[in-house]
Amino acid sequence: MVLNAIKKIPPLKEPCIIHSDQGTFYQSQKVQQTLTKKRFFNQHVKKRYST
């Protein structure tokens, strides 16, 4: 579902950053390749654990 949404984004003139929570879907090679083709750079946010 997310991959289909990414594919529907029109071409970007400038690179763009997409933030994710390191979910397995966003780490998949297929998603990474699609994001790269669309000129997105994936930036992971580290999970914080309370102590």
pLDDT, tens only, 3-50: 888 889 888 888 888 776 666 666 788 888 888 888 887 665 565 555
22 within some domain: yes
2 within some domain: no
39 within some domain: yes
CA distance 1 to 20: 16
4 within some domain: no
Domain count, the chain: 1
Q: For residue 51, what are the CA distances in angstroms to 34, 45, 48?
A: 37, 19, 10
The confidence score (pLDDT) of residue 8 equals 92
**Helix/strand/coil for 42:** strand
In degrees, rounded to 5, the angle at the alpha carbon of residue 44 between the alpha carbons of residues 16 and 31 is 65
pTM above 0.75, yes or no: no
